[in-house]
Structure 1
Amino acid sequence: MLPNHLESIKDIFQELDGMIGLDKVKDLIYEIYALLQVEKIRQDTGLKVGTHVYHMLFKGNPGTGKTTVARIVAKLLKHMGVLSKGHLIEVERADLVGEYIGHTAQKTRDLVKKAMGGILFIDEAYSLARGGEKDFGKEAIDCLVKVMEDRNDDFIIILAGYPNEMDMFLQTNTGLPSRFPIQIHFQDYTTDELILIAIKMASERDYTLASETIRKFKEIILDEKIDEFSFSNARFVRNVIEKAIRHQAVRLMSKHVKLSRQDLMDILPRDLINRVEIDSKTESIIS
């Protein structure tokens, strides 16, 4: 990957377009780009240019691409001159909330300072409001609202989390909803999209999934998706791929022949099982 300052708009959108699915997300990111591009043209022709707020809410279940898209947004906004650095600082409740009065505000200000010129990405942001009125999480929320009032330039906050929890979170502070004009909903991936993600992940590591393996993979995904509240989308697919690679390694170690290039690349249906039984031959090899 090229450094931020060397990446062109074409590179950035190629990365975005390379993500499976997310059509509505991609459309909204392009809207932001188009707005900024047209405003530059308006400015060059002497027309008025308004100010815009780019703080965002990303609503979606785990593994739906929120963090990856946030990084792409950071690079895009740097390229378009909205951000000076275009880096992403990813934090969660523990990074913001302190242990005593005043500690939270200081931790939050320090992270904001670190994120200046880029994006402060707060995952599971709704957890800041879970402790009630006396919890220090509320102090973090109040501090963030004040920062958003005082520092409008060269700094963006993206709050991310589950859709329902994020909607409830916005109700904890009357100043929050109006400060996040851009709200993006990340849909769960379909089964077919998850299969495409699996093929892409395997290919990027020089592995191949045979048609039989893909059929087995689809069965595993469908079984897992029954529990929709715990299903982690692309994160689940990545975990299955990584486990299958380990299982493939165990299987190959049991062979007593020279391994071909194809042997080393093929992920077979048996590699997708939940547990690999190491046979006596393999045990003798590693003992």
Structure 2
Amino acid sequence: MKRKGQINIVLKNTTKHDLTIDEASVLEEPKHSAYKHIEKELEQFVGLSSIKHFIKEIYAWIYLNQKRQEAGLKPGKQVLHMVFKGNPGTGKTTVARLIAKLFKDMGVLEKGHLIEAERADLVGEYIGHTAQKTRDLIQKAIGGILFVDEAYSLARGGEKDFGKEAIDTLVKAMEDQQHSFVLILAGYPKEMDRFLQLNPGLPSRFPMKVTFPNYTVDELVLIAKKMIHEREYTVSESAEQTLRQLLVDAKQKEYEHFSNGRFIRNLLEKSIRAQALRLLEEDDYNRERLMTLSSRDLRKAYKASNN
């Protein structure tokens, strides 16, 4: 008996883009509102070109399988659990939320909500506690997506750690309730690779492994300028050059764990506080100076970030 929302899809390898269809012709039809709403939101984000293509590809797969069912053709098996690999601030949680919304609009998920969790939400303090906590969290995610960030931390304590019990409970739910919710495990790239290697059965259960690359310096500058504009601030040309220099330095120092958009947000907030102190000391509050972040403000904020 087919359950509501079951689409039956096999996604073999997202990095090789095995699907061969004319995406452009599929998306020409005005009825593709589910994708168009998501696309409109994605257009607001700087970069993420590979992720935007991935979401478009997922939509095309689901839509074409629906068409196959309507034509009486045999669809493939549905496997929608995912692994997101990327540093902080690369958009993993935001994309998970958009995918949940897309799946709801297409009838794949009943509710389309996102439950965010980390190790503390899954792992208990005594034997049997972890399984119950994990099952309770899965129950809350039914009809939507369970998003576990820093998922590799579930395996950090070895065989005797309660994290293993959480993993086993998640794996069982993926099999028993595979059409009721989608599980997304997320974390740093190298740590997630090691995590998946610890359990031979895990990689095959997550056929979609998506890498979120670090933003380039140009992309980070665009993100910063958008944030600055939204806060009704501005930067001079010299301050923008300073920002570029600071970003190059930060990316080199912290490449594997660089926090991308989060780094920009924190830097700007500290720069605004530095500007406030500077203007207070200078006793000058005209409109232009109230709006302008200087190179000095940015350097002071960056120095504070490294202390």
Normalised-by-shorter TM-score class: 0.7 to 0.9
Aligned to 1:19: 45
Superposition pairs of residues 117-136 of structure 1, within 5 angstroms: 117-136=143-162
Superposition pairs of residues 25-44 of structure 1, within 5 angstroms: 25-44=51-70
* Contact 2:81–2:206 (CA under 8 A) maintained in structure 1: yes
Output the CA distance in 2 between the equivalents of 1:101 and 1:95: 15
TM-superposed CA distance for 1:8, in Å, is 5.0
**Given the superposition, is the C-alpha separation of residues 258 and 20 from structure 1 closer, same or farther in structure 2, using an over 3 Å criterion?**
closer
Aligned to 1:74: 100
3-state SS of paired residue (1:273): helix
RMSD: 1.9
Q: 1:268 aligned to 294, 301, 305, which one?
A: 294
CA distances 1:102-148 after superposition (whole Å, capped 9, x unpaired): 00000000100111111111111111111011100000000000000
5+ residue gaps, structure 2, are 1-32, 303-307
Aligned to 2:262: 235
Aligned to 2:278: 251
Output the CA distance in 2 between the equivalents of 1:140 and 1:122: 11
Q: Which amino acid aligns with 2:223?
A: I
3-state SS of paired residue (1:58): strand
Output the CA distance in 2 between the equivalents of 1:164 and 1:275: 30
**Given the superposition, is the C-alpha separation of residues 226 and 243 from structure 1 closer, same or farther in structure 2, using an over 3 Å criterion?**
same
Q: 1:217 aligned to 224, 231, 243, which one?
A: 243
* Contact 2:271–2:301 (CA under 8 A) maintained in structure 1: no
3-state SS of paired residue (2:215): coil
1:188 matches 2:214: yes
Q: 1:144 aligned to 170, 174, 192, which one?
A: 170
Aligned to 1:168: 194
Q: How many residues align?
A: 269
Stretch deviating more after TM superposition (267-276 or 232-241): 267-276
1:110 matches 2:136: yes
TM-superposed CA distance for 1:185, in Å, is 0.7
Output the CA distance in 2 between the equivalents of 1:60 and 1:230: 9
TM-superposed CA distance for 1:196, in Å, is 1.1
Q: Which amino acid aligns with 2:263?
A: F
After the TM superposition, which segments of 4 or more aligned residues of structure 1 sit over 6 Å from their partners?
Answer: none
TM-superposed CA distance for 1:11, in Å, is 2.9
Output the CA distance in 2 between the equivalents of 1:152 and 1:229: 33
Output the CA distance in 1 between the equivalents of 2:71 and 2:245: 58
**Given the superposition, is the C-alpha separation of residues 247 and 117 from structure 1 closer, same or farther in structure 2, using an over 3 Å criterion?**
same
Superposition pairs of residues 54-69 of structure 1, within 5 angstroms: 54-69=80-95
1:206 matches 2:232: yes
Output the CA distance in 1 between the equivalents of 2:190 and 2:90: 15
Output the CA distance in 1 between the equivalents of 2:239 and 2:192: 37
3-state SS of paired residue (1:206): coil
Output the CA distance in 2 between the equivalents of 1:83 and 1:245: 42
Q: Which amino acid aligns with 2:247?
A: I
Q: Which amino acid aligns with 1:249?
A: A
